[in-house]
Structure 1
């Protein structure tokens, strides 16, 4: 099934190439994308949008449920370390919820099977307090690796790309600073074939001012269909926490290092692309302009090695910097293992060592030894490697054990070392005994659909090689 896709962000060129090769239609393309592709890219409304996440680690996928599922399948095959998750609280979904906590600017709402969301006080129709029952809509979903909760509102809207219908609003509004274009679009709305349902007002996006009549009519018709689904819950009593209706779905795609380099190849088929293009752009917001400038001036050898030393010396991390260890989990969560100082750095080898002072209490996983005051952890990372070792020592410098984590290829970003943990690990105890752990958790992650069998088999092979080497 061909899907109409709107693409935005640092992965746009590569994803456009991927989508066109797969027989899908890319719509509402920017001028630079139109110039790069010798193909008709229409200004039609979209079935689904792929937008780079704020941290540039992946893309959010939002739109018609069938189209979102099609995109999930396509993106999952970008690279072996591409991970995709369905959002339990998708943008546009309506939930009944209960206020669990009020904060300075809003309330934390229990959404039942949708997890938790955040309702700003400015978005609440009435005063809200602890244990109040509320009916809310998700206006902005949040990636599972992000600390933010989905953003909620008590005003219901039917989102449809170019057009949004707002319950209880009268007339037509246009979100644009071009007053003349806004007035023209508002006047054209009555000429469209699609009918606005009673009790709903029209709100056009700025992009709608440049869209064709057919695109506007299609967007308004789609919004009307979604408003009809929302009409079912308007006026009904608030019940137990849980999802009531979801006219659209949301999914999240995280690109690992190998996936970013696979996307480089898609981009290279279209235009000049330096080695590690997406890896560099994902590392730091200011890197995008530098990459674009270099590619505009220089011929690029696509087979050249990724310039780890150049990139880290420009953006970090290097010796003396403080970095966090971002321990991703196969279910999408990100756990920060704390911060440490880069005590050794080798740009040519692509390695750096991070030392942390451990707080006392508890024990070290799988090693079975107590975590005591004065303990240190020295972790050596190599860019692109499928594992990394951490050596734990006591206050006297004596080794307490070594924990080798098997993970997706390591990426040494300026502020955070990133990877996704693949459960199975290998430990070496202080007495020299080697032990492999957590194979069962890896199997469970595959059974739950969190990891592909291909990625799991890679993790098992890496663990086997580490067992032999240690």
Structure 2
């Protein structure tokens, strides 16, 4: 049975679904156990870890042994149906027989890669490990000479000298001494040993057996690779996959969490919105059994809190993995539907997408409607004449503490005297990262945006707010 360790703000929803699907939990925290009705999980270490990313709380990472990681990732597509999806290629920590060029580069799986080696010259053959994979489209692949094999408790590394290292979670000095002694014979063979966090409490016999098995396996791979042609994969490595969650994915996670625990509407988007909003979600979870009509109140709360922001920024996450921050802008007010921002133009140029001159003194009115797939930008001259409208098509807008966040779906709709759909080719370029359901949602949003611009609805709203 596949064992999974779950951490982070989505843990209850993810763990609940995985249990339903027949997975086993491992290394279960006390809080998660209580939320799941006392589930203790397996005492054995996990095959796979699922958690939110340290760099971006909206990203859910799945990482672990390749076969088991793939199974968990495929299962979680049910929980995150609209999230853009990314899988590392080549596999993280996979190893290849390679040959390098004069720039110490090679090509594996059709991808150019940088190679790190103590000595590099054209035509040199070696075994190299993938230490950085291509997850997002703009990522670079990096290999390092050597071979790393991973187990539940230990990693064995050939071709990079010798020594013993420890997970930062292993702090007990007596335990460290035992582990150093256990690895001493292996290290004397010129091999590096890295003890993983699960080694801090495991039986010594289990550690010894895995260490010896991995060393034997690594040595066999090393010898066998001598006769293999360059480009051959010699070790599978790990699975690494990412879901870049959207508002609707978080709402699906809310529904799953609600099966086991009182959960207010928009729980997960509030948890991802900053410390104050996270606290509001915890309070809402306690209130919701007495008042199920909270959705409208959440939107009202968000607009009210953001109206107090002196500076407000828009976090425009791209499908290529990058993030563009727009602003900060000044919040000039709210309506029943919108948060209204204003930015003053300082430079000459051309407004992107509408091909209209940008001049100092122009101003931009931006309408942000929480939970809507549109962010509407109106461009005005210094005298208040509307120059054009640019409508971003996104995942539904999430509101945090003085910021809005969404995933840009690349395609946009503009008005510059006529209504046009632009950047369709950009959507097509990254469409492989989107589910059919997400693509249908984008198509529907584009249709609605065209209709509203053609009717003049958004132009009238913008002019009224700019006056």
Shorter-chain TM range is 0.7 to 0.9
1:114-125 residue pairs with structure 2 within 5 A? 114=111
CA distance in 1, matches of 2:435, 2:404: 23
Change beyond 3 A, Cα 1:141–1:280: farther
Structure 2 residue ranges without an equivalent (≥5): 454-467
- Number of aligned pairs? 441
Change beyond 3 A, Cα 1:205–1:441: closer
2:348 aligned with 1:360, yes or no?
yes
1:34-433 residue pairs with structure 2 within 5 A? 34-37=33-36, 38-54=38-54, 55-88=56-89, 90-94=91-95, 114=111, 126=118, 137-139=129-131, 144=136, 156-167=147-158, 174-175=166-167, 176-184=170-178, 200-211=191-202, 216=207, 220=211, 223=214, 227=218, 231=222, 246-284=236-274, 288=278, 291=281, 301=291, 304-305=294-295, 307-308=298-299, 310=301, 318-329=308-319, 332-336=320-324, 338-346=326-334, 349=337, 351-355=339-343, 357=345, 359-365=347-353, 367-414=354-401, 416-429=403-416, 431=417, 433=418
CA distance in 2, matches of 1:134, 1:376: 58
Greater C-alpha radius of gyration: 2
What is the Cα deviation at residue 280 of structure 1? Answer: 2.0
What is the Cα deviation at residue 13 of structure 1? Answer: 1.7
2:419 aligned with 1:434, yes or no?
yes
| TM-score calculated relative to the size of structure 1 | 0.76
CA distance in 1, matches of 2:118, 2:177: 33
Change beyond 3 A, Cα 1:400–1:294: closer
CA distance in 2, matches of 1:244, 1:372: 59
CA distance in 2, matches of 1:14, 1:198: 46
Instruction: Look up the SS of the partner of 1:263 in the other structure.
Output: helix
Cα displacement string for residues 153-177 of structure 1 (whole angstroms, at most 9, x for unaligned residues): 5564323343211225657655421
Two-structure CA RMSD over aligned residues (Å): 4.4
CA distance in 2, matches of 1:81, 1:150: 27
CA distance in 1, matches of 2:356, 2:424: 21
Contact kept? 2:221, 2:234, Cα under 8 Å: no
What is the Cα deviation at residue 341 of structure 1? Answer: 0.8
Instruction: Look up the SS of the partner of 2:156 in the other structure.
Output: strand
- Whichever structure has more helix as a proportion of its residues is 2
What is the Cα deviation at residue 234 of structure 1? Answer: 7.8
Contact kept? 2:312, 2:331, Cα under 8 Å: no
| TM-score calculated relative to the size of structure 2 | 0.76
